[in-house]
Structure 1
């Protein structure tokens, strides 16, 4: 069965509070979906994170079209290497991006997550959150206070891993595979959406799926934005930007795309 795919995207604001183009990028292939969230850089000498996310997403898409059943970690490793070489990028001095990828084959559904854009699977196995919490743990411990802190701990064994100019980061991605027959739906989200679950506690992932199926993915984005507007100065929910970019993708394997979990 070919899954139904629905997408919602919305730009946030920059660190200065002013609107700017989204740095999230979603690509839909015949048997895969990619969601990349470029990290906002405080260094004006670097290209923006959205620039990097767009190029890495396109390279990943091209490579998966050429080899749709290839190992996802190997494909990501090669894509990072190619973008690094083509643009003369240097580790610790380059823009970066999260990577969330879902790929379905005849017998299984694969997920890969690098940094904080989670993938959530729903099905006979329950609700399976594929997430990389290394960034969140460092933030909770107060270890990412400055740009220098982020650079020092980026792609380091005592830090976090993200797509940048180090192809070896791909080996640290979180992976999952589910039998295709057990999968009901899969959701991909950038952290501008997942914050509504993890920090604001507006809903859980099962409710995200239900809202998306009933009212569309924009309803989830609206709920997060409404909460943020009620806390404009980040007093209740401290955050670096009033509104982050948002991207939410539902890959619905259920018949007609309307059936909920049992």
Structure 2
């Protein structure tokens, strides 16, 4: 495998709640979610949850090649649940959760699963770029975030509106009328977007957290094709540098309303032979 990977926290010294790793024909990326600075019911924290779930998932993808990806994720969620259900309140409404992107090369096919608002980009040998992205959270968020976007990011009023927005999202988490994300319930894995692509049709793939894809889907400074071309030509670090430049140019979210001025950002580029 040939992998280029960069993952940076929102700011130096802050915990990075993203996790990405690759091993022997498989790659995973997770973006942990919780309530910043708030009670989650988990003594371990969001970064622990995303990294532990990601490590278990990657091991399952490699160690059980005959198991479908959704089942691999379900198994990983159950395993992580067993590691902390005796010490943590997994029924807490803000219990840590995580997006998931998983890809596995097996028997001439690239299998994938996507859950939550991280993205998988598939670059074909014919020059096309296909994007696999779970839009259910975006759809729900657009209905709820009006008061958040109307206020300067980082202001006390914005923080209060953001807390209400997150509470509303929590009530719709892992529900048919809402969105699905990896958390304490293995059932969420069955709602991942899954599929497969012939390996011979692909040149490379990229797994990205929403802190990196905001260059396209929040800031609209690039198209998906342009974003992938940037990854392929200049590497993941250049993508994140451009995201940071855009964030710095709009520190209070007037041009690009958003919940966080800066976000953890991760790009994993897997170049296929």
TM-score, normalization by structure 1: 0.89
Which structure 2 residue ranges, 5 or more long, are not aligned? 146-161
1:242 aligns with one of 261, 265, 268:
261
Alignment partner of 1:79 is 2:84: no
2:58 aligns with one of 55, 58, 61:
61
Instruction: Tell me the equivalent position of 1:133.
Output: 135
CA distance in 2, matches of 1:101, 1:180: 15
Q: Is the deviation greater in 36-45 or in 190-199?
A: 36-45
Instruction: Tell me the equivalent position of 1:8.
Output: 6
Instruction: Tell me the equivalent position of 2:32.
Output: 38
Alpha-carbon deviations, 1:34-79, whole Å to 9, x = none?
1011013243243332111011112112222321342100010111
Instruction: Tell me the equivalent position of 2:239.
Output: 220
Tell me the number of residue pairs that the alignment of Structure 1 and Structure 2 aligns: 248
Preserved contact between residue 40 and residue 95 of structure 2 (Cα < 8 Å): no
2:196 aligns with one of 177, 191, 207:
177
CA distance in 1, matches of 2:205, 2:78: 28
Instruction: Tell me the equivalent position of 1:51.
Output: 48
Which structure 1 residue ranges, 5 or more long, are not aligned? 255-262
Alpha-carbon deviations, 1:216-261, whole Å to 9, x = none?
211111111101100000111111111100000111125xxxxxxx
Alignment partner of 1:168 is 2:162: no
Instruction: Tell me the equivalent position of 1:107.
Output: 108
CA distance in 1, matches of 2:102, 2:40: 29
Preserved contact between residue 69 and residue 105 of structure 1 (Cα < 8 Å): no
TM-score, normalization by structure 2: 0.85
